[in-house]
């Protein structure tokens, strides 16, 4: 099957083993941000924007970090928007968790994949394991979609009256020797979904790609994923198609998801960063699925934006609700946009 989270176990392991460098950099950034946040509180700044690179005075740094302080102080109200949501790549390890989180939150979900019987089996298994509430199962429908062979019009027909589309597709790690897999699936297949969503006139499209898609494509350790037949390049093609489509969108670039298990959320808190901020870090699939559910329920918090997500210990990342985590997206110094 197609699974955005299984591009390559070898490369994911390399990303994880190298992520200590990324984590140390994030810790330094976090320490700097905490110092700037303290300055904000000390000086009582009331206006400002994200901190940028270069030499600035203490008062200037305090003022520019006002927005960050305000987000830390006040909770974001959950919009609770209900949208019938089409999830393509629903049979993958990330996709099935997205389906569960959406259904458990009360959203009506259409699962799309190559095999309806496989999707039905996965949903039943999630119920038996307690990952999906038994009552929530009634919120789920099934349809057949093959992003490699189906036309945008065919996929549009499968989307039907759904108001949101979530793309969690990607080349499976079992196909590591399939040299054209990333091009066919992560690139062309995801672009077909974008075209179909535009034809369907949906209100929101969410695309999950990977850390390193974009300006950090050749930075380590995230850039190691490109050894898998240029997968980050092809994911970027899909991102660009979504951005230029005119659809309201949210792009989520998670860190390495190969090793963290579902209970990772109990020891590590999710944190969001602006696009092209990070080149290393890890996060669990469950945390990413929870974030996707929050994005669907709170579309205004991340409309027309790209966020990069990792999870860190409470020392560096406070425990927040997912809407709060979105609202508190960190603008790393020197990164604008």
What pLDDT is attached to residue 82? 93
132-187 confidence digits (pLDDT tens): 999 999 999 999 999 999 999 999 999 999 999 999 999 987 778 888 989 999 99
Q: What is the 3-state secondary structure (H, E, C) of the chain?
A: CCCCCCCCHHHHHHHHHHHHHHHHHHHHHHHHHHHHHHHHHHHCCCCCCCCCCCCCCHHHHHHHCHHHHHHHHCCCCCCCCCCCEEEECCCCHHHHHHHHHHHHCCCCEEEEECCHHHHHHHHHHHHHCCCCCCHHHHHEEEEECCCCCCCHHHHHHHHCCCCEEEECCCCCHHHCCCCCHHHHHHHHHHHHHHHHHHHHCCCEEEEECCCCCCCCCCCCCHHHHHHCCCHHHHHHHHHHHHHHCCCCEEEEEECECCCCCHHHHHCCEEEEEECCCCCCCECCHHHHHHHHHHHHHCHHHCCCEEEEEEEECCCCCCCCCHHHHHHCCECCCCCCC
Percent of the chain with pLDDT over 90: 65
Mean pLDDT along residues 314-328: 94
- More confident site: 106 or 32: 106
What pLDDT is attached to residue 3? 54
What pLDDT is attached to residue 131? 96
What pLDDT is attached to residue 71? 41
What pLDDT is attached to residue 4? 53
Does the pLDDT of residue 129 top 60, yes or no? yes
Residue closest to 239 by CA, chosen among 229, 228, 251: 251
Q: What Å distances lie between residue 296 and 84, 166, 195, 220, CA to CA?
A: 10, 9, 19, 31
Does the pLDDT of residue 47 top 80, yes or no? no
The answer to whether the CB of 233 falls within 8 A of the CB of 185 is: no
Across 30-34, 96-100, 310-314, least confident range: 30-34
Give me the chain's average pLDDT, please: 82
Does the pLDDT of residue 193 top 70, yes or no? yes
């Amino acid at each position: 099957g197609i699974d955005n989270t299984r591009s390559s176990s070898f490369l994911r392991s390399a990303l994880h083993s190298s992520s200590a460098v990324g984590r140390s950099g994030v810790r330094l950034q976090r320490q700097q941000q905490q110092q700037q946040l303290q300055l904000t509180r000390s000086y009582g700044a009331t206006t400002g924007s994200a901190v940028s690179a270069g030499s600035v005075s203490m008062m200037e740094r305090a003022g520019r970090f006002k927005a960050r302080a305000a987000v830390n102080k006040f909770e974001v109200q959950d919009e609770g928007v209900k949208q019938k949501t089409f999830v393509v790549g629903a049979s993958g390890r990330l996709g099935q968790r997205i389906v569960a989180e959406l259904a458990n939150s009360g959203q009506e979900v259409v699962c799309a994949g190559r095999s309806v019987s496989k999707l039905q089996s996965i949903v039943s298994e999630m119920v038996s394991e307690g990952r999906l509430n038994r009552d929530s199962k009634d919120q789920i429908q099934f349809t057949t979609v093959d992003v490699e062979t189906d036309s945008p019009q065919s996929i549009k027909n499968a989307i039907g009256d759904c108001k949101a589309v979530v793309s969690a597709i990607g080349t499976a790690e079992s196909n590591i020797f399939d040299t054209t897999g990333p091009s066919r699936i992560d690139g062309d297949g995801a672009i077909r979904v974008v075209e179909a969503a535009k034809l369907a006139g949906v209100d929101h499209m969410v695309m999950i790609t990977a850390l390193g898609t974009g300006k950090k494509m050749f930075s380590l350790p995230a850039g190691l994923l490109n050894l898998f037949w240029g997968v980050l390049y092809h994911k970027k093609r899909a991102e660009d198609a979504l951005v230029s489509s005119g659809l309201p969108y949210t792009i989520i670039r998670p860190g390495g998801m190969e090793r963290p298990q579902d209970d990772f959320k109990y020891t590590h808190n999710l944190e969001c960063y602006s696009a092209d901020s990070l080149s290393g870090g890890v996060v669990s699939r469950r945390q990413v699925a929870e974030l996707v559910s929050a994005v669907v329920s709170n579309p205004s918090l991340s409309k027309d934006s790209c966020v990069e997500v990792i999870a860190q210990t409470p020392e560096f990342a406070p425990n927040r609700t997912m809407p709060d985590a979105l609202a508190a997206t960190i603008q790393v110094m020197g990164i604008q946009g």
